[in-house]
Copies of this chain bind each other. A is one copy, B any other.
Amino acid sequence: MKLATLRNGRPDGHLVIVSKDLTRFASAGRIASNLQAALDDWERCAPILRAVSDQLNNGEIAGMPLDPREALAPLPRAYQWIDGSGYMVHLDRVRSLKGSRDEELQDERPLMYQGGSDSFVAPMAPIVVPEDGLAVDFEAEVVVVTGHVPMRPNREQASAAIRLIGICNDVSLRRLVLNDLQNGFGFFHAKPATSFAPIFVTPDELGENWKDNRLHLKVRVHVNNSLYGQPNAGKDMRFDFADLIVAAAQTRELGVGTIIGSGTVANAHDEILPLKHDGVGFGCIAEARTAEKSKIGKARTPFLALGDIVRINAVDDDNRSVFGSIEQAVKLLAPGG
């Protein structure tokens, strides 16, 4: 089934069940007050939500037309957001930028950082930056939402805890990355609020596109209608989501509704921008720039400017959007907030 959260003036929004083709929704308000509440009581809620989903998809319930501009992030706020680094290609490409010190460590176990989860950004809301010149970048990622995970789980427990799958834009302010990492406490100011596509889906809904704890779909990124990348999230993922969950829970349990990110989706290739027809490209600009430096001696693709629009979609073999679209303009913070 497919779930979304619509704006209703409350911080956690209104949980709805969405049709497979993303055109219609039915309210889940009588089943759970919001998505976190449904996850907290998943054994009871999931079968009821699924029954409504079936009725919506077979036409027994007409539903209402879905306006993606009314969608919030599916979890508008969450108790935990941990971003991993599943794709070594991404780390290899940006490593020089970030000044990482221990390359060998990163091949043995995934890096991860604790992200802010108090106020996620809606799929079509702007990326608000407090000043110009911060080198704004997107990072196209896959995420999973977990149930409770005990400390030191095995891979089977980790895999079984995956409740929902989605995609996000882990917005990064590249000019602040070095300061964050040099101060020694890790990412903070360089990682402002993360944005999410409107729909989270259950693993079964994805059929063959979810296997081996990986999402086997292209994640397609456009900037102002230019294709920047369409790497396949199922390829070159060194650490799958079971690995990431196991790693995250080495010294802690994970609460219900924890979101785990894949890191920027990246496939190995030697392309640079602009992409040739059906090129694979990049899930973030930093990678495109380092590829340019290595191939033509100079980074030429600029970071996002004010007014630029980034669009991120995961698409199936028929180019249909699976989670709905992230579509965000970069905007300057208005005086006085």
Closest to A119 in B: B255
Query: Once the chains are docked, how many angstroms separate the CA of A258 from the CA of B101?
Result: 32
Using known A-B contacts A77-B255, A251-B176, A251-B192, determine if residue A337 contacts B101 with beta carbons closer than 8 Å. Answer: no
Copies of the chain in the assembly: 2
Give the interface segment out of A183-191, A196-204, A283-291, A303-311: A183-191
Contact bitstring A80-113, B, C-beta under 8 A = 1, else 0: 1010010000000000001111100110000111
B251 near A130 with CB under 8 A, answer yes
Residue A71, interface by CB 8 Å: no
Task: Return chain B residues, CB-CB under 8 Å to A186.
Answer: 113-114, 180-181, 184-188
Chain A, interface SS category: loop
Chain A window 227-271, contacts with chain B (Cβ cutoff 8 Å), 1 for yes, 0 for no: 000000000000000000000001111111110000000000000
**Pair B189/A79 contact, Cβ less than 8 Å:** no
Q: Which residues of B contact A130 (CB under 8 A)?
A: 151-152, 250-251
Q: Which residues of B contact A114 (CB under 8 A)?
A: 113-116, 186-188
**Given A179-B105, A184-B101, A253 and B151 contact (CB-CB distance below 8 Å):** no
Shortest C-beta distance, A272 to chain B (Å), equals 26
Q: Distance in Å from the Cβ of A191 to the closest Cβ of chain B?
A: 8
A333 within 8 A of B: yes
Smallest CB-CB separation from A102: which chain B residue?
A: B182
Q: Which of A99-158 contact B (CB under 8 A)?
A: 99-102, 105-106, 111-119, 128-130, 134, 150-153
Task: Give, as a whole number of angstroms, the nearest-CB distance from A93 to chain B.
Answer: 15
Q: Which residue of B lies closest to A333 (CB)?
A: B151
Most buried by B among A82, A119, A179, A256: A119
Give the size category of A's interface with B: 35 or more
In the bound complex, what is the Cα–Cα distance between A184 and B98 (angstroms)?
8
Which of B128, B173, B180, B184 meets A99, CB within 8 Å?
B184
A163 → B minimal CB distance (Å) = 14
Cβ of A185 and Cβ of B79 under 8 Å apart?
no
The residue that A151 contacts in the complex, of B82, B128, B134, B256, with Cβ under 8 A, is B128
For residue A78, CB closer than 8 A to chain B, the reply is yes
A89 to B279, CA, bound (A): 54
CB neighbours of A252 from chain B (8 A): 116, 119, 192-193
Chain A contact residues, CB within 8 Å of chain B = 10-11, 40, 77-80, 82, 85, 98-102, 105-106, 111-119, 128-130, 134, 150-153, 173, 176, 179-190, 192-193, 250-258, 333, 337
